[in-house]
């Protein structure tokens, strides 16, 4: 387990599902805010850390979806996230993580009407979720769980929801062009089947807004942290 920031307690926990999907901007945010965070490679099959005294749990992207319970690490994480929700440990779900949170809360996971790949603007009804554009890279989607509050949508469906202190999004606020470039390269055949000949060019279209997207990601993470931390008396450092 890697430590993103060596100070402070209690600590956040980030669940990573492969070397190709690092914490990225979420890790940068934690360091900037002085929030201690452990990163656990959930895909490696090692026992998941204890939930006791966790400030929050964040789940990142994965090539699987939460319905793939025949995959050992997916089944283990589904149980883990359900336990976090039951204990009211705030959960931040990003893409696969948002789908996982939705599934645990009773929402559905289904193929999206069309893949959302590259830079997409969403329609937000809540200040916590900027409209982007955000990096997206998914073929499935979640439906709004019972009792959740819809915060943002796209033509493909729900893009963000809150449920108590939990927040799930379908896009990738943590990712950068450099991170997603690797996903595009590994899926070149799949992209060509969709009529996308140059995945790298698809991503580079967003280069002019990449800095603004990073700032929007920090605002989204700040809003999650403000709501997640306040009930326990934890405070983030000055913004």
Q: Which residues are catalytic?
A: 95, 172, 174
Phi, psi of 22 (to 5 degrees): -75, 170
93 neighbors 166 (Cβ within 8 angstroms): yes
Task: With H, G, I as helix, E, B as strand and everything else as coil, classify residue 19.
Answer: coil
Contact by Cβ (8 Å): 173, 120: no
> Per residue in 192-221, is it b (16+ CB within 10 Å) or e — as a string?
eeeebeebeebbeebeeebeebbebbbbbb
What is residue 104's three-state secondary structure? helix
Alpha-carbon distance 29 to 213, whole Å?
13
From 132, 128, 58, select the one nearest 95 (Cα to Cα): 58
Tokens of 83: 């336990």
In the structure encoding, which two tokens stand for residue 233, read together?
């008396």
Distances from the Cα of 148 to the Cα of 6, 48, 118, 133, 185, angstroms = 34, 26, 27, 24, 35
């Amino acid at each position: 387990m890697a430590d993103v920031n060596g100070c402070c307690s209690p600590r956040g926990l980030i669940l990573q599902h492969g070397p190709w999907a690092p914490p990225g901007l979420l890790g940068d945010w934690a360091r900037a805010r002085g929030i201690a965070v452990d990163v656990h490679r959930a895909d490696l099959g090692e026992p998941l850390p204890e939930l006791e005294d966790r400030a929050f749990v964040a789940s990142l992207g994965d090539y699987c979806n939460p319905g793939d319970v025949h995959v050992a690490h997916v089944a283990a994480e589904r149980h883990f996230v359900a336990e976090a929700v039951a204990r009211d440990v705030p959960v931040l779900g990003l893409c696969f993580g948002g789908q996982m949170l939705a599934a645990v809360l009773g929402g559905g996971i289904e193929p999206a009407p069309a893949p959302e790949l590259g830079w997409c603007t969403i329609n937000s009804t809540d200040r916590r979720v900027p409209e982007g554009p955000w990096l997206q890279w998914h073929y499935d989607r979640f439906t709004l769980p019972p009792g959740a509050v819809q915060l943002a949508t796209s033509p493909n469906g729900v893009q963000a929801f809150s449920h108590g202190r939990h927040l799930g999004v379908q896009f990738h606020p943590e990712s950068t062009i450099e991170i997603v470039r690797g996903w595009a390269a590994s899926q070149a055949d799949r992209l060509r089947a969709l009529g996308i000949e140059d995945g790298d060019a698809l991503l580079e279209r967003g280069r002019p807004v990449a800095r603004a997207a990073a700032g929007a990601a920090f605002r989204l993470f700040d809003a999650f942290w403000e709501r997640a931390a306040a009930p326990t008396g934890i405070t983030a450092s000055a913004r």
